Amino acid sequence: MNEMLRYVLKPAKMVWAIIQAVSVAICLALPLLFLYTIYNEHWSPEARQGHLNQQHSKSIRQGMSRAEVKAIMGEPMDSSRDERVPQTLAYYYRVPPGSSLSCRIIFDFEARVTKVYCPSE
């Protein structure tokens, strides 16, 4: 009987050890995940640049030239022309991580700002 009890208890001890190891891993991983999320949203270079772009985009006004926009915002991350209206040009700037919208500045055929789309903080 003692022999049979040992075979039953040994797997139970292994299961308990696995549960403990997983619990420790979770307790260590959650704070790291939290810190990574805070870093990614607030302190990373991309986040800081995105927040700066949001602030600077408030200075952009209709009628400004591309040179004036670049002086305020810096070089765009990307630019494209609208296929439906090829005379227009859009500059794209980085926004903070997690933002569902992009920061776009639209220029008309005279290279003047017509619209500014940038998510607010």
Q: Exposed, middle or buried by CB within 10 Å (0-12, 13-18, 19+), for 14?
A: exposed
Structure letter (DSSP) for residue 102: -
CA-CA-CA-CA dihedral for 47, 50, 54, 55, to nearest 10 = 70
* Per-domain residue ranges of the chain: 1-43, 46-121
pLDDT tens-place string over residues 27-56 = 999 999 998 888 888 888 888 888 899 899
Task: Outline where the chain has alpha helix (H).
Answer: 2-38, 45-57, 66-73
Directed axis angle between helix 45-57 and helix 66-73, to 10°? 130
Fold of 46-121: Beta-lactamase Inhibitory Protein; Chain:B, domain 1 (3.30.1450)
pLDDT tens-place string over residues 65-90 = 999 999 999 999 999 988 887 788 99
Structure letter (DSSP) for residue 59: T
Model-level pTM?
0.67
